[in-house]
Structures are given as structure tokens and as C-alpha cells.
Amino acid sequence: MNVTDFVVDNGTDFWISPRVYTDQELYRREMEQVFRTSWVYVAHESELTKPGDYLTTHVGEEPVIVSRDDTGKINVLVNACRHRAAVVCREERGNSKAFRCPYHGWAYRNNGDLIGVAQRVGAYLDGALRNVDGLLRAAKVESYRGLIFCTFDPQAPTLIEHLGTVRRYVDLWADMSPEPEGRLLPPHRFEYGGNWKMQAENGADGYHPAVLHQSAFETLDHFGVRSRALSNEMLKVGKVRGFKEGHAILEGGPVARLNPKLLASYQRALRERHDEERVQQILLRRHIFIFPNVYLMDGNIRTILPRSVDRTEVRSYFMELRGVDPAINEERLSDLQRRLGTTGFIGPDDLETFAAVQTGSRSRSLRWMVMSRGLGREEDLGDGELMALPSDETPQRAIYREWARRVLAYPSDRSL
């Protein structure tokens, strides 16, 4: 497998092969070289406030339990029994001191330690279980501003290094909650019939909304919800950003989804804690992609869980702000559901399109997709951050350069 079979990056063109959505060998490499070695977002601290709180999710295809143990420490445990591999915990979330495998009854403490083997006495030769002491676990777990990440690579750089320059935007995102940190509600979960990278590309794609979501905007406008105006404003004053670690941002105008009275109350709450310039920065709407699997959006967190090369699960968690008038959260929640909920006006357009891209990418004739938009008008802000116009494909290029670096040994100096 050669990087030039999948990527053209020559200064004028940036092309990606549609096979990145369909190739089984690439997918296998992604599970290994992206999802095991990168830092991957798994949960938010507000979901695990008490000792014993846990939830289940996936890191790539690795099933995991994220649990706060009795000492308060957060663990990312492989949710596969050390006996014969059954998923140990089948619940989505809960609180427990221990997990008991439903197959033959082996039991594990909420920190992963093996504490019981059913009918053990006399069944095993001395020392037969000497290397079986508990659930396997991620190599490292770290949090930043309430966001919990893990990696299975003991050599991985620190989470702070992985975040790089995007960290200052993560701070702005977290500061949306006047009282830190915001609180996540249980997610909407849904699937689409396409590769996981489509959602990664799409959340920071400022080129498509005016076209793909045109009818949704018209309908929303008809019912008095300003949406086309926000989209047009994004095209006028917005920006996109791409980062050398594969992160990306789509930035719109100021948050204007709240009615004026609630917006004023929200601004007051922010001004009690931040100076005016920072308040204005916090109020800009952003979709922040942290490579490889999470979007921090103005109303929610959206995680991407690959299921197979052509099937992806998405979980969307409303983020409740703390330290604000409850009416603000009510309005934000109904806005989120109206736009991006599973029966919202906008979200389903994207999911249906991902399936269409998956179908198109099975073409034997189409050799390349064109992602060159805006090459030549990007501004280099230093520290590996490029900024461009909101319809430029700077975010997609950042994502694919990091992706190619991990799965195809793409040179980091970009001289293909």
C-alpha cells in the first residue's frame, strides 16, 4: 500500500481516493494505527461524578468500560472477559462496585481487578491463572477541561501535546459554561451507512450547508427560526482552521440562537467571569473536531464510533451550561433537537448524504475526490494552525494529512 495510491498533495491539488471509504485493509490499519495509538475521546467527567459510576463505549472497535473506581480514579477497561472474551458489562451506564461476566460468572472490581472466578477451587493447576489478574486497560487516561481521553499506546505523547494549538479553542468551548464544567445529558445514538471519516469531514465543512440544507433552512425560516441568516453570516464572517495534529474548526458568527432576553442574561453570566474580549470570543459558534473521533459543538458533543468500513455510529450529547437561567438550557436543547436531532431538520440531510457518498465511492471509474478548495489562500498562523475562508477545505486537508501520516506513513513535511 502506497500513500500515492490514496493521496495527491502537490501544492496545486489535494486529492483523496474514494477507496479511503471502502478499503478493508485501510480500515484495519485505522483501527490499529489511528484508534489504538492516537488519543481518543471516551467520556465527559460530568457523566461519572460518583465513585462506581460507569459507562460503556468503544475506542475504534475496542469495547470499553469507562469507570470511576472507589478511589475516585477514572479507568478505561477493555470490556472483554479474560476468561473467554464475552462482553462483561452490557449496560450503557450505571453505578456498580463490580462487574460480573454473564457467561460463567467471573467478577471484576470497578477498577478492573479480577475478584472472583466461579467454582475456582480445584479447577486450575497452581499458577495457571498467574497472568490473569483483571480486565485489560488503556495504556494512558487523561482529562482536559472535563473531557476524558485514552490511548492504547504507552509511547503516545501527552494529551496536551496531542491537542496542541487547538487547546485554546477547547478552553473557549468549555468556558461557554459560566460555571465549569458543563454537564452532558445521555446521548441520542444513531447510525449511518457510510465510513466514519465522512462525519469527521462534514462537521467542519462550511461549503455544503447553503446547498444541502437549503430546504431545511427555508422550512425553519418559515417557522420563524433564523437559520439561513446564520448560515449566510457564517459565510461572511466565519473561518475554518486546520491543525497539524489533524484537528479542525468551523467557526461561525456570534451565538444568536437565543432570543434577545436570554442572550442578554447569558452574556451577563459570562461577563461576571471573563473580560469583554473573551466573552465575544466565547460567543462565536464553533464546531471543533479533535482528531480522530469527537466534535465539540456549540450545543453538544458528537462522537464518531466506526462499526465497520461502511457503517458508523454517532452519539450526540446535549451539553447543559451551568450557572445560567434554566430557560437558556431549555432553548438550547430544543434548538439542538430541531436542527441536529435524529428527527431534526438538518442532521438527517447529512446522514442521508453520507450513504450517497458511500454508494458513489464504490465506483470503479472515479479515481479521485477533489479537496483542493482554498489552497493558496490559507493563512499560516504558526504552531501548525492554518486559517481560511469558511467554504475552504482546510479542515478536510488537515484531517487527511494526519490520517495519512498515521496509516500510510505520509511524510510530515508534506512534500509528496
Residues contributing to the site for ligand FES (CB under 6 A): 81, 83-84, 86, 101, 103-106
State which residue, 310 or 350, has the beta carbon closest to Fe ion.
350
CA dihedral 175, 64, 134, 150 (to 10 degrees): -40
Cell of 396: 478536510
Minimum distance of ligand FES from residue 176's CB (angstroms): 42
Between 199 and 267, whose beta carbon lies closer to Fe ion?
Answer: 199
* 79 or 303: CB nearest ligand FES: 79
Report the partner that residue 350 touches, choosing among ligand FES, Fe ion, none (CB closer than 5 to 8 A by kind).
Answer: Fe ion
> Can you tell me which residue has the cell 494512558?
140
Of 120 and 377, which has the nearer Cβ to ligand FES?
120
C-alpha cell at 277: 474580549
Name the binder of 101 from Fe ion, ligand FES, none, CB < 5-8 A by kind: ligand FES
- Give CA–CA dist 61/255, Å, rounded: 36
Of residues 319, 42, 47, the one with CA closest to residue 173: 319
Cell of 326: 434554566
Least distance from Fe ion to the Cβ atom of residue 357, Å: 13
**Using rule CB under 5 A, residue 350 touches Fe ion:** yes
In whole angstroms, the minimum distance from the beta carbon of 207 to Fe ion comes to: 10
Pairing relation of β-strands 284-290 and 248-254? Answer: antiparallel
Minimum distance, C-beta of residue 301 to ligand FES, in the bound complex (Å): 32
> What is the sign of the dihedral through the CA atoms of 331, 334, 339 and 345?
negative
168 contacts which partner out of ligand FES, Fe ion, none, CB within 5 to 8 A by kind?
A: none
- CA 394 to chain CA centroid, Å, is 18
Least distance (Å) from ligand FES to the CB of residue 119?
11
| Residues near 286 by beta carbon (within 8 Å), at least 6 away in sequence | 169, 172, 173, 249, 250, 251, 252, 296, 297, 298
Q: Which amino acid is at 186?
A: P
Which value, in Å, is the radius of gyration of the alpha carbons in the chain? 22
201 binds Fe ion (CB under 5 A): no
Task: Please confirm whether the linkage preceding 91 is cis (ω < 30° from 0).
Answer: no
106 binding partner (options Fe ion, ligand FES, none; Cβ < 5 to 8 Å by kind):
ligand FES
> Based on CB atoms, which residue is closest to ligand FES, 118 or 327?
118
Q: Please report whether residue 175 would count as binding Fe ion according to CB under 5 A.
A: no
Q: Which does 105 bind (CB under 5 to 8 A by kind): ligand FES, Fe ion, none?
A: ligand FES
Comparison of 86 and 333: residue with beta carbon closer to ligand FES: 86
Taking alpha carbons only, the member of 59, 63, 60, 102 closest to residue 84 is: 102
Closest contact distance (angstroms) between CB of 184 and ligand FES is 30
Smallest gap from residue 287 Cβ to Fe ion (A): 10
Query: Which parts of 303-332 interact with Fe ion (CB under 5 A)?
Result: none
Grid coordinates representing 390 are 469558511
According to DSSP, residue 46 is labeled G
Q: Is residue 78 within 8 Å of 64, Cβ to Cβ? A: yes
Minimum Å gap between C-beta 115 and ligand FES is 13
Between 105 and 360, CB nearer to ligand FES = 105
* Closer CB to ligand FES, 106 or 317, in the complex: 106
Place of cell 438527517: 348
Q: Which residues bind Fe ion (CB under 5 A)?
A: 350
